[in-house]
C-alpha cells in the first residue's frame, strides 16, 4: 500500500482550508474540494504539507494546526483561537492564564469553561428531549415517534414566526405521512394526505396544515 501524505487544500471565498491525507495530489484535490464544499475549480491550492505527514491518516489535532499558523473559532463562544490569542486577551483586559484552548474530537474551545458550558447545554438538551418524549407518549399513546427536535436547553413553546422550538413528528394509527406535535400548542400539524385518518383517530382535535 502506498504511503498517505498530507496535503493542504484551500478555497479562496471563505478562506477555509483542510488537511487531506492521500497518496497523490489529484486525490487530495478531489477529497479536499468535497470537504470544503466546492468543486474542483473552486480550490485555490492543493499542496503538500509534509509537516503533518506524521498524523496520517488524520485528522491533525487543531492545536497542532494552530502551532502552524492556523486559526479556529471556539465552538461555544466563537472567540478566535490562534497563536496570538494571548495578546488579544491581554488587550481585552482578560487573563490569558484563564484561557487554555482544549479540543475534543473535531471541536475546539478557547478555554475549559467554554468546553464545560457546551457539554452542560448538550446534557440539558438531551434531558429536555427525554422529557418531551415522556410528555408526548403520555398525551398520545399508540403513536410512533419519527423524529424529535428540541432547540436549546429546555422545553419552551415556539414563538410565532420563529420556527418550531420543541416538536415531535410522529405517525398516529392509520397515518401514512404523519403529523407534528409542537410543545405548547394544543393542535397538531397534519400532513394533507392524512387528514381523514386523523379525524378518525382523534375526532376531538382539529388538524392544522403543516407549517
Ligand atoms: Zn470560548
pLDDT digits (tens, 9 = 90+) for 2-39: 899 999 999 999 999 999 999 999 999 999 999 999 99
Cα separation, 97 vs 112, in Å, equals 11
What is the predicted pLDDT for the residue at 205?
Answer: 83
Residue 187: predicted pLDDT = 85
- CA of 65 from ligand 1 middle (Å) equals 18
| Calpha distance 179→43 (Å, rounded) | 43
For cell 403513536, what's the residue? Answer: 143
Q: Could you tell me if 177 and 156 are in contact, meaning their C-beta atoms sit under 8 angstroms apart?
A: no
Q: How far does the centroid of ligand 1 lie from the alpha carbon of residue 77, in Å?
A: 4
CA of 110 to the centre of ligand 1 (A): 4
pTM over 0.85, yes/no: no
* SS3 category, 154: coil
Distance 195 CA to ligand 1 centre (A): 47
Contact 7, 22 (CB under 8 A): yes
Rounded Cα–Cα distance for residues 90 and 130 (Å): 43
- Give the Å distance between the CA of 122 and the centre of ligand 1: 15
Enter the C-alpha cell of residue 4. 498517505
Residue 73 host element (H or E): strand 72-73
Residues 180, 191: Cα–Cα separation, whole Å: 9
pLDDT in tens, the chain (211 residues): 789 999 999 999 999 999 999 999 999 999 999 999 999 999 999 999 999 999 999 999 999 999 999 999 999 999 999 999 999 999 999 999 999 999 998 899 999 999 999 999 999 999 999 999 999 999 999 999 999 999 988 998 888 777 778 999 999 999 999 999 999 988 899 999 999 999 999 888 888 877 5
Whole-number Cα distances in Å, 133 to 8, 141, 145, 206: 45, 11, 8, 22
107 Cα: distance to centroid of ligand 1 (angstroms): 11
How remote is the CA of residue 199 from the centroid of ligand 1, in Å?
Answer: 50
Ligand 1: distance of its center to the CA of 33 in Å?
29
Amino acid at each position: 500500500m502506498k504511503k498517505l501524505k498530507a496535503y493542504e487544500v484551500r478555497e479562496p471565498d471563505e478562506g477555509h482550508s483542510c488537511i487531506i491525507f492521500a497518496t497523490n495530489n489529484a486525490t487530495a484535490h478531489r477529497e479536499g474540494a468535497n470537504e470544503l464544499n466546492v468543486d474542483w475549480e473552486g480550490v485555490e491550492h492543493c499542496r503538500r504539507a509534509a509537516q503533518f505527514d506524521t498524523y496520517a491518516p488524520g485528522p491533525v489535532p487543531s492545536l497542532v494546526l494552530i502551532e502552524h499558523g492556523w486559526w479556529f473559532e471556539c465552538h461555544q463562544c466563537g472567540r478566535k483561537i490562534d497563536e496570538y490569542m494571548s495578546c488579544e486577551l491581554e488587550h481585552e483586559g482578560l487573563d490569558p492564564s484563564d484561557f487554555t484552548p482544549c479540543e475534543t474530537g473535531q471541536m475546539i474551545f478557547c478555554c475549559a469553561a467554554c468546553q464545560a458550558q457546551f457539554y452542560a447545554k448538550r446534557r440539558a438538551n438531551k434531558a429536555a428531549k427525554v422529557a418531551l418524549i415522556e410528555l408526548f407518549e403520555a398525551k398520545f399513546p399508540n403513536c410512533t415517534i419519527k423524529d424529535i427536535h428540541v432547540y436549546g436547553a429546555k422545553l419552551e413553546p415556539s414563538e410565532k414566526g420563529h420556527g418550531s422550538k420543541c416538536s415531535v413528528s410522529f405517525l398516529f394509527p392509520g397515518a401514512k405521512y404523519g403529523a407534528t406535535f409542537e410543545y405548547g400548542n394544543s393542535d397538531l400539524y397534519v400532513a394533507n394526505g392524512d387528514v381523514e385518518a386523523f379525524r378518525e383517530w382523534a375526532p376531538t382535535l382539529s388538524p392544522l396544515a403543516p407549517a
